[in-house]
């Protein structure tokens, strides 16, 4: 199996709970509280570990919440390496309203991070022998929007494959300046990148244009209930969403990109890896709060989806 390094610039402590009803002004009594280490890059590492893969994790950590985060990560089978910063790690909070089935998600912007504080992270990447680098998540305040582009260039110099899952200016700048191996936007993130609304047909064209421009070798586009598509130099593969009972949408995208990269690192081809990603994304919505996907669910959904696809042909 190829070695994977996951990078978390804006990690979080994710707290999830339930309430019968949420009303303004009044106290909202919650129950079934859960805490997990979170944020894009950390979620990716958690999923790879859950699937049985090996993944190093390098992440920014500061303050008392950073200490708590580091202790939480000790319970996960991941080699984790904190890069210490001054400001504290953010705390994100999600409440599921059981009377309506709605989720309310409160996600802080995160710490202020200086260029000096992120330098050790670049040094870590230079020394890493990973064959896959995964950069996932939003940027903390103070970090230049070209930071993922600089990371992609390091990966390219080292002959590693760079996988990107981010949004906004960080996504736009990286794809305008560097070539990545795989980028995994949601349809909303792709719309922000191209500056126009997309439908089921035009989304594939937009993804294919990214590949043809040389900005990415592959584009895996997640479209929620409309499924997902994979754009390559030769084709656009489309798959419908896997129908599962929905508990929470938190972490579905992270599960997708983690499982896809894990499958590639296992030696599977891009099409099979894409199907693993689809299965993991569906498995993630079956779990409550920020639990992410479970290995058994991913394998079962992958097997069922593969059998159904074979039957259709």
Catalytic residues: 254
Q: Which of 171, 132, 77 is nearest to 257 (CA)?
A: 132
Structure tokens at 87: 């400001």
Strand order from edge to edge, sheet including 216-222? 79-84, 55-61, 4-8, 132-136, 161-165, 180-183, 216-222, 228-231, 236-239
Whose structure tokens read 């929007």? 145
How many residues comprise the chain?
Answer: 313
Helix, strand, or coil here: 296?
A: helix
Q: What counts of helices (H) and strands (E) characterise the chain?
A: 10, 13
For residue 294, the number of C-alpha atoms closer than 13 Å in the C-beta half-sphere is 7
Instruction: In whole angstroms, give the CA distance from residue 165 to residue 3.
Output: 18
Alpha-carbon distance of 24 to 148, in angstroms, equals: 39
User: Which of helix, strand or coil describes residue 77?
Assistant: coil
């Amino acid at each position: 199996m190829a070695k994977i390094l996951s990078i978390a610039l804006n990690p979080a402590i994710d707290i999830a709970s339930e309430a019968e009803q949420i009303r303004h002004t009044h106290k909202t009594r919650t129950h079934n509280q859960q805490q997990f280490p979170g944020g894009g890059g950390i979620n990716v590492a958690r999923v790879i570990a859950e699937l049985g893969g090996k993944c190093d994790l390098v992440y920014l950590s500061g303050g008392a919440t950073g200490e708590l985060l580091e202790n939480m990560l000790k319970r996960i089978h991941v080699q984790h390496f904190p890069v210490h910063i001054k400001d504290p790690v953010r705390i994100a909070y999600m409440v599921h309203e059981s009377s309506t089935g709605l989720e309310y998600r409160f996600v802080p912007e995160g710490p202020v991070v200086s260029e000096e504080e992120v330098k050790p992270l670049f040094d870590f990447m230079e020394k890493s022998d990973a064959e896959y680098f995964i950069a996932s998540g939003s940027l903390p305040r103070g970090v230049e929007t070209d930071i993922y582009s600089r990371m992609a260039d390091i990966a390219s110099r080292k002959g590693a494959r760079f996988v990107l899952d981010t949004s906004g200016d960080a996504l736009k700048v990286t794809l305008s300046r560097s070539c990545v191996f795989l980028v995994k936007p949601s349809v909303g993130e792709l719309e922000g990148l191209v500056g126009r609304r997309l439908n089921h047909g035009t989304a594939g064209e937009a993804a294919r244009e990214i590949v043809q421009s040389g900005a990415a070798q592959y584009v895996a586009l997640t479209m929620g209930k409309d499924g997902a598509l994979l754009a390559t130099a030769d084709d656009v593969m489309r798959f419908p969403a896997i129908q599962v009972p929905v508990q929470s949408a938190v972490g579905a995208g992270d599960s997708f990109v983690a499982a896809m990269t894990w499958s590639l690192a296992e030696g599977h081809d891009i099409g099979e890896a894409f199907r693993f990603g689809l299965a993991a994304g569906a498995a993630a919505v079956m779990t409550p709060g920020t639990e992410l996907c479970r290995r058994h669910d991913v394998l079962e959904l992958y097997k069922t989806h593969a059998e159904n696809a074979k039957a259709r042909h």
